[in-house]
Amino acid sequence: MSEEKNIESKIIKSFENASVDEYIRYLKSPWRIIWSNLLAGIARGIGFILGVTVVLGAVVWFVAQMVDVPLIGEYFQTIEQSISEYQESTNYKAEFQHMERLLEEINTSLKR
């Protein structure tokens, strides 16, 4: 009987050390699961955006450096011009101004 209690106490201590009770509380609380998954998704999204920005920035920089290389420089110059034209064509300034006006209208209507 004493050996049985000793084994039981070792099992209980191992569960406590492994934080099983906290994990069970986590599984029983859907809001905790939603919150942690939301934060993980936000972190993944920010990481993805930062990674893509760094990689594309490095590619654009590399292309800009290759323009001066003989023979293949013309091809890279064409690519650089295409990238510049795309940047200029995707300027969403007017759309952002329209959204800002709408948000201001909503804000003033909510204050009434």
Q: Is the pTM of this model over 0.75?
A: no
**Residue 51 pLDDT more than 80?**
yes
Q: How far apart are CA 19 and CA 14, in angstroms?
A: 9
Whole-number pLDDT of residue 2 = 67
Domain housing 23: 2-111
Q: Is the dihedral of CA 36, 38, 42, 48 positive or negative?
A: positive
- Between 59 and 43, whose confidence is greater? 43
Number of domains into which the chain is organized:
1
